[in-house]
Amino acid sequence: MPHVRAKEYQIPKEGYDLVYVEVIQRHHKRTPYASNTFFKEDADWDCSNAGPYHHAKAVDFATTPVYWQAQHSALNPFASQVGPGFGDSTCQFPGITSAGLDDSKQHGVDFGSVYRDKLGFLPCANETEQYAFRVTNNVITTQTLGAFAAGLYPDAKEYVAWVQSETYDSLEPKFSWTEHLEKSAALRERFNRVSGIEPNDSAGWSSSWDHPYDNLSAKQCHQKVLPCSVNATDVCVSQEDADAIYRLGNWEYAYRWRGAENSTLYSALKMGVWFRELQANLHAAAEATSPVKYRHK
């Protein structure tokens, strides 16, 4: 992920005053989603001693931090019904990986080197009324924030992260996709021979290229080899096919937001609420009606 860094950042000419910053970023490197893993993967993915924290904050005492490690029981007859995926993995899918957390922390360090050190703009960590962090209901956004904030404010012990209900979260609208896949049917067939996904799958593998994109890109982002069939180890996803899947995934995203005839209306309906929130934040900064000078989403 690109970072803003002090060595490249150029301070604007005189006559400009920085009064407000709102940052919108994606998460850092992660595992695939559980729904995007093959029924049986030909590679391992280990998250020992790393995992998502799940514990509550009490009003009058400090609770003990607890993080999850996936458990696999040979005595559970239902486990085989969903497939082993990455067999005996300790990971929670999805999850920001150690490499992703390292990058996220460095992102916080780099961000602070510009907006705190070079520009002298950011509030101190204890000036909590002047900044706000927001996440979605997807745990990977909170995991990203945990590492980013450690780089930005290393002395702070905890943060409030604001989150909306998943039923109407303006940062995470729900999408539908039903078109365009016929021309890539041959590529889909080759991919299915490796993944073991059935042509009539109803779990999202055939309704877009999102699941294949996510599965392959997560592996290659962590220097894992492209997968081969567990039943015929000489049948593998080629780099050429992987690149084609990435192009199709990027095309789908661009079509939703820019290419479709009704993309403007689509964008307004899906992200309009968030743009209204952004507009209100900018107006509040311009009119000095809010103490918040830095928001991060």
Distant-in-sequence, close-in-space partners of 14: CB < 8 Å, separation ≥ 6: none
Q: For 52-106, what is each residue's pLDDT tens digit?
A: 777 788 889 988 888 888 777 777 777 666 666 887 788 888 989 899 999 999 9
Helix (H, G, I), strand (E, B) or coil at 236: strand
CA atoms of 281 and 86, how far apart (whole Å): 43
Residue 130: what pLDDT?
A: 95
pLDDT at 82: 65
d(CA 198, CA 161): 40
pLDDT tens-digit series, residues 260-288: 777 888 788 888 888 899 999 999 999 99
Q: Per-residue confidence at 36, pLDDT binned at 50, 70, 90?
A: confident
Q: How confident is the model at residue 173 (pLDDT cuts 50, 70, 90)?
A: low
For the entire predicted model, the pTM comes to 0.68
Is residue 190 within 8 A of residue 236, CB to CB? The reply is no
pLDDT recorded at residue 241: 96
More confident residue, 167 or 136: 136
| Residue 279: exposure state from Cβ atoms within 10 A (0-12, 13-18, ≥19) | exposed
Query: Residue 80: what pLDDT?
Result: 66
Instruction: Please tell me the distance from the alpha carbon of residue 231 to that of residue 88, in angstroms, as a whole number.
Output: 19
- Per-residue model confidence (pLDDT) at position 262: 79
Cα–Cα distance for residue pair 35/269, rounded to 1 Å: 26
